Amino acid sequence: MKQKSYILTVAGLDPSSGAGITSDIKTFEAHDLYGLSVCTAVTVQNDVDFKECIWIDRETIINQITILFERFNISVVKIGIIQSWEVLLEVVQVLKSCNPTIKIVLDPILKASAGFDFHSKENLKVFEKVLLNCDFITPNYDEIKTLFPEKTIEETIEFISKRTNTYLKGGHREEKKGRDEVYHSKIVQLNIPPITGSVFEKHGSGCVLSSALASNIANQLPLEDACKNAKYYTEQFLNSNDSLLGTHNYKQNDK
């Protein structure tokens, strides 16, 4: 039997498994990849209520990463919540030192779906350095407005997209809800409309989109196909049932 390729998530633990590392692992497995995980935080939450975030210290995060690279060949990593932009920058630099060609997909989670704020008002100059070391960033509309409150959305998109590829998730946009936009190759725009009619809200859908994108990159799909397939996968996840916790039954042959 052929050995599956390895892919890594560096993110928090959600006990409900709707978001974070366990959700990422489910997505990786659905894309026929073997998921590895590094825990950056332990959250006290369920699918509707967020109580607390206990951050894992920087050294422990780094040690988790380095021991995995001693054993496994990892070409793609998805990054979720990390305590600060400074720690995030160090994590990105360690990943690059372990594998200089590694592809990094960053989901810049600034607020939990239950309303808990993370590090939205920290040193954005450090964040700019992070962008230069990433291959994709996947903010939603609320996050991209929060990152640079002094800029318009258009100015923020231009700033980020000059430094890395941007997948702008459309679930929070007021107009054309659900339409995603991808900016790459000198800010060429790719519009990805909703594939299905009605969808059900899901806890952790942003994590699923970013980990699906990372999975498609790991499976060596062209950039635009990787983005479209990630959108398709997320639509299936949203429509998997009418609860807040989705299931990962990927029907690849339905496209």
pLDDT in tens, 50-101: 888 999 999 999 999 999 999 999 999 999 999 888 999 999 999 999 999 9
Between 109 and 71, residue with greater pLDDT = 71
Structure confidence at residue 248 (pLDDT): 81
Residue numbers of the domain that contains 12: 6-239
Q: Report if residue 245 sits inside a domain.
A: no
**Position 54 in a domain:** yes
Across 101-128, average pLDDT:
70
Q: pTM of the full predicted structure? A: 0.88
What pLDDT score does 161 carry? 87
Q: Is residue 249 one of the residues assigned to a domain? A: no
For 104-120, give the secondary structure using H, E and C: EEECCCCECCCCCECCC
Query: Does 137 map to a domain?
Result: yes
Classify the C-alpha dihedral 65-69-71-73 as positive or negative. positive
Asked whether the predicted pLDDT for residue 253 surpasses 50, the reply is no
Residues forming a β-bridge with 235: none
Within a domain: residue 1?
A: no
* Residue 99 included in any domain: yes
pLDDT the model gives residue 176: 61
CATH code at position 98: 3.40.1190.20
For residues 30 and 237, the model is more confident at 30
Residue 223 lies in a domain: yes
Each residue's pLDDT tens digit, 123-166: 678 888 999 999 999 988 888 877 777 888 888 888 888 899 99
- The answer to whether residue 250 is domain-embedded is no
Q: Which two three-digit tokens encode residue 221?
A: 């799909």
| Cα-to-chain-centroid distance, residue 108 | 7
Number of domains in the chain: 1
Mean pLDDT in the chain?
85
